[in-house]
Amino acid sequence: MGDQPPRTRVAAVHAASAFLDREAGVAKACDLVAEAAESGARVIAFPETFIPGYPYWIWTHTPPAGAPFFREFYLNSVEVPSPATEALGAAAREAAAYVVMGVSERDGGTLYNTQLYFDDQGALIGRHRKLQPTQAERMVWGRGDSRDMFVLDTPHGRLGGLICFEHTMDLARYALTTMGEQIHVACWPAISAIAHDPVSRFFDSISEAAAKHHALAGQTFVINVQPRVDEATIEKLGLTGQPDMLRVGGGWSAIVGPHGQIIAGPVKDEETILYADIDLADIVLMKQPCDSAGHYARPDVFSFGLLPPAAS
C-alpha cells in the first residue's frame, strides 16, 4: 500500500433535498459543502440523487399519476457540464475538499442515476452512473456501463463508490477492491420513509449490512450516506396527511471502518452532517487475514475481468 497519507476527516451529509428544484438543490449543496469544510472535512459525501431529489413517486403513485413528476424531474436533472456542475466545482474548490455528489443526470433524452466526483481544485474528475436501476427505477433511469467502474487517486486515499443496490452486485464491489479502493462512498435513498412498502421496515438494516460487509470484504472505509424526507417533499407529492404512504424523516447514515465496525453514527431522521477522522493505516491489519484482491483471491481457482463498454 506504500506510504499512507495522514489522518483525514470525512463527512456524510444526511439532509433532505430541495425536491424537484435544481437551482435550490445546488445552492443547498454548496452551503453544506462549506459547512462540512469549516468542520475540517476533506472528503464530503452526499446521498443518492441529492439533486434534484429521489423520485419517490415511483413507489407511491401509479405510472400515469407519476408522469407529471417525471417531467419536472427531467427538466431539473443535471447536465454535465453545466452551470450546476460549475457551481458544485467552485464549492469544492473553495472548501479545498473532494466532493461526491449524487445527481439525476440528463444526457440527451435519457436520465442516469449518477455520482459526480469533484477534486479539491473544483475539477470534475469522475462520473459513476448506476449500472442497473432497481425495480421501478427502470421507469426513470438508463444504465451505466464499464466506463463507470473506477477508483480515483486522491491525497486522502483511493476513492470510489456505488449506488444503492449496486452493493448487492458482488462483482461490482470486487472490481473496486481490485483497483485498490480505500474510501468508498455508498449512497442510497431514504427508503425507510416509504411507510407503505414492506421493505421499508428493514431497509436500514439492509444498507447497514451492505456497508459493513463491503468495508470488511474490501478492506476499505465506507461513508454510507442517505437523505431524509422533509415536509416540502411530501407536500409536493400531494401526500400531506398520509404518513402511512410517505413519512417525514428516514434514512440511515454512518461511517464504517475496514474492520466492519461503525466509527461514526448512525444517524436517522434528523438533518445533520456526520464526521469521522480516518487513518488509512487501519486498513493494514485487515489486509493481513484477508487481502481480497491479493493473497486471499486464489486466482488459480477464480478469474475476474472488467469488460469494455459495448459500442454505442
Catalytic-role residue among 48, 105, 137, 181: 48
Q: Sheet of 157-163: strands edge to edge?
A: 152-154, 157-163, 183-187, 221-225, 253-256, 262-267
Contact assessment for residue 182 and residue 190, using Cβ atoms and an 8 Å cutoff = no
Catalytic-role residue among 28, 30, 137, 164: 164
Task: Tell me, yes or no, if 130 is annotated catalytic.
Answer: yes
Q: What is the CA radius of gyration of the chain?
A: 18
Q: Beta 183-187 vs 157-163: how paired, if at all?
A: parallel
Task: Tell me, yes or no, if 164 is annotated catalytic.
Answer: yes
Whole-number Å distance between alpha carbons of 72 and 237: 12
Strand partners, 157: 154
Residue whose C-alpha is closest to residue 215's, from 246, 168, 247, 260? 260
Task: Tell me, yes or no, if 48 is annotated catalytic.
Answer: yes
Kindly state the cell numbers that stand for 3: 506510504
Q: What is the 3-state secondary structure (H, E, C) of 198-235?
A: HHHHCHHHHHHHHHHHHHHHHCCEEEEECCCECHHHHH
Kindly state the cell numbers that stand for 168: 448487492
Whole-number Å distance between alpha carbons of 275 and 84: 26
Whole-number Å distance between alpha carbons of 244 and 77: 28
Residue whose C-alpha is closest to residue 33's, from 101, 86, 83, 79? 101
Catalytic-role residue among 30, 105, 130, 212: 130
Kindly state the cell numbers that stand for 54: 429521489
Collapsed DSSP state (helix, strand, coil) of residue 111: strand
The burial class, CB within 10 Å (0-12 / 13-18 / 19+), for 145 is middle
CB-CB neighbours of 304 under 10 Å: 12
Write out the catalytic residue numbers. Answer: 48, 130, 164
